[in-house]
Amino acid sequence: MTKRGVIRCLLSVVLMCYLAFALLVSNDMAAREMCAGIEIKLLQEEGTGSFVTAGEVRRLLDEWGMAETDRCVSQIDLQDIEDRLNGIDNIEHAMAERLGNRKVRISVTPMKPVARVFDGNRSYYINSAGKRLTANHRFRLDVPVVTGRFDSVHTPAALLPLINRISTDSEWNALVAQISVEPRSRDIILVPMIRGHVINLGDTADIEGKLARVMLMYRKVLPLKGWNYYDTLSVKWGGQVVATRRQKSIPEPLIRFDQEGDASDDEDVNSMLVATESDTASVGWKKKPGPNKGNGKPG
């Protein structure tokens, strides 16, 4: 390295040390000055409701004796403020920091519920991490409704993959009115906005495949057989839909097939349904022959 390069390196080190020293001194001087006020900033999307307001945060600080500003900035325990606010159900995350103008800023991210849970005689919201928020009559959010009996082993958080999948799909979000969990079998039941039948998912495994099979029933079968023809569409088992008839006598289809039409444009629904004596129908999707596949039996 040349002599000029060594000098540049030394000057850079000296400059960095000076800046660090100046920053420490300025922060120390600012910390010794009297607090000029506390700012509360809510971090949330515009146009969305909030489970917490700036006024409620300030009220909590008053109750805890942390809103007093007639003291030095250094005497305000920022960590204690963060810990207390983060322990509130309504708050997703809170951060407190000192500003250069002798003020303290408290940034609060309100909890964003993803589902409303009705657990027996209790009702609460949960967020994307499964954190609970007690329901408040002041707030009514358009989120999926979940019903069932939950405990420390079977929690609503187990439904989060399904809730997220439905919420992020406009078609399914508009279709599903309620998600219910059977207390004994723990089967997950979807209650559609279309009244007359329910969808038994079984569990949250292979959500994509199960929803795809149900949607195929909606597009290929139910418009022809009738929306009230089945009371349950079960996709618990891989590669098929087990549909339970509402009544034993088969009603006339709402739409008759055009026997002279192009069969390639629309599959014959009767080739998709195989009725059994127990008043159930199994929808089998055609697959290429392979080892241990396509046996058409529930797993």
CATH class of the domain at 37-110: alpha beta
3-state helix, strand, coil in the chain (%, to 5): 30, 25, 45
Distances 142 to 37, 42, 139, 175 between C-alpha atoms, Å:
37, 21, 10, 14
What CATH topology corresponds to 113-284? Rossmann fold (3.40.50)
DSSP designation for 85? H
Q: At what angle do helices 54-63 and 78-86 cross, to 10 degrees?
A: 120
pTM: 0.60
Domain boundaries, the chain: 37-110, 113-284
pLDDT in tens, the chain (299 residues): 677 777 777 778 788 887 776 666 566 655 567 788 889 998 876 545 567 788 889 999 988 888 777 778 777 889 999 999 988 878 888 999 988 788 889 999 888 888 889 988 888 888 888 888 877 666 667 788 999 999 888 889 899 999 999 988 888 988 898 999 998 889 999 999 887 789 999 998 999 999 999 999 889 888 888 887 888 889 988 888 888 887 644 444 444 433 333 444 444 444 344 333 334 444 444 333 444 444 444 44
Q: Are the beta carbons of 35 and 102 closer than 8 angstroms?
A: yes
How many other CB atoms are there within 10 angstroms of residue 213's CB atom? 20
Strands in 37-42's sheet, in edge-to-edge order, are 37-42, 103-110, 91-98
Distance in angstroms (rounded) separating the CA atoms of residues 222 and 219: 7
